[in-house]
Amino acid sequence: MRTALIAGNWKLNKDHLEAIHLIGDLGLRLSNLDLGRVEVAVHPPFTDLRTVQSLVEGDKLPISLGAQHCSHHHHGAFTGEVSAPMLAKLQTRYVLVGHSERRAMFAMDDQVVHQTAKAVITEGMVAVVCVGETEAEREQGQTLAVLERQVRSAIAGLPDNVADDLVVAYEPLWAIGTGTAATAADAQDACSAIRRVIESTLGTATAGSVRLLYGGSASSANAFELLSGPDVDGLLVGGASLEAQSFCDIIAEAIRCYR
């Protein structure tokens, strides 16, 4: 049985002092919850990772550490980049790969997404590969074709036994930061299609174990319904993860759904 993952993507928010405050608040609230089959992760900016890791480890908080990106290069003349081995040394467990903001603003194409996913997995971390269609693609009925291309390219050549090292997040671009989430039915359909693509590439057992997330304006108001889809195993949460209260309200809905 798959567990749920509720992951908070802080994007370009929270300096390290604000991160200390948010993690403290989150840790306190989580101590009042019985997480059961729900795992919680946060993806702070690079400059917060060491701080968050120390707090999580020191206070034994039930929070997994995630990063928002890394280079597909190991080392060398790549000014401003951070490598997968550097993240692994900080006990980072999850790395977002190919978030739509990286694809759109930092020229991350399918090939680089694939190379980055491989680099993350090689270092023993979990690649959270983000895929999703634009509004125009959706209107032209291309959603499933776009998802198939992005997923197939990202996982091509990965070993069959990669189930624990891979998460795929369906994040329709028109839903990110807009306040308009996909319907639960659309999220389920997309995740089901993604699972079929994984099955055809990596086999039935892996496809059955890989966790698929939905992301895009998730909130406590829609979390339960979104998570009720049999192929939706969690949520990638942007805006609502920036406050401990709103993030925990979503986690509480996930606990209710996975009881």
Applying CB under 6 A, the residues found at the interface with ligand PEP are 9, 171, 176-177, 215-218, 236-240
Nearer to ligand PEP, 236 or 255 (CB): 236
Q: At CA 207, angle to CA 100 and CA 141, rounded to 5?
A: 45
DSSP-assigned states of every residue in 185-207: HHHHHHHHHHHHHHHHHH-HHHH
Give the separation between CA 115 and CA 95, rounded to whole angstroms. 13
Nearest residue to ligand PEP, scored by beta-carbon proximity: 238
For the annotated catalytic residues, the residue numbers are 99, 171
Dihedral sign for Cα 8, 14, 20, 26, please. Answer: negative
- Tokens 């739509």 belong to 100
Give me the least distance between CB of 22 and ligand PEP, in Å please.
16
Give me the least distance between CB of 199 and ligand PEP, in Å please.
25
DSSP-assigned states of every residue in 89-135: HTT--EEEES-HHHHHHS---HHHHHHHHHHHHHTT-EEEEEE---H
Using N-to-C axis directions, what is the helix angle for 16-30 and 244-257, rounded to 10°?
Answer: 40
Nearer to ligand PEP, 92 or 217 (CB): 217
Nearer to ligand PEP, 66 or 215 (CB): 215
The answer to whether the beta carbons of residues 214 and 236 sit under 8 Å apart is yes
Give me the least distance between CB of 237 and ligand PEP, in Å please.
5
Give me the least distance between CB of 77 and ligand PEP, in Å please.
30
Give the separation between CA 250 and CA 220, rounded to whole angstroms. 4
Nearer to ligand PEP, 92 or 222 (CB): 222
Structure-token pair, residue 124: 């023993």
Give me the least distance between CB of 30 and ligand PEP, in Å please.
19
The answer to whether the beta carbons of residues 143 and 184 sit under 8 Å apart is no
Give the DSSP H or E segment for 42.
strand 38-43
Nearer to ligand PEP, 124 or 177 (CB): 177
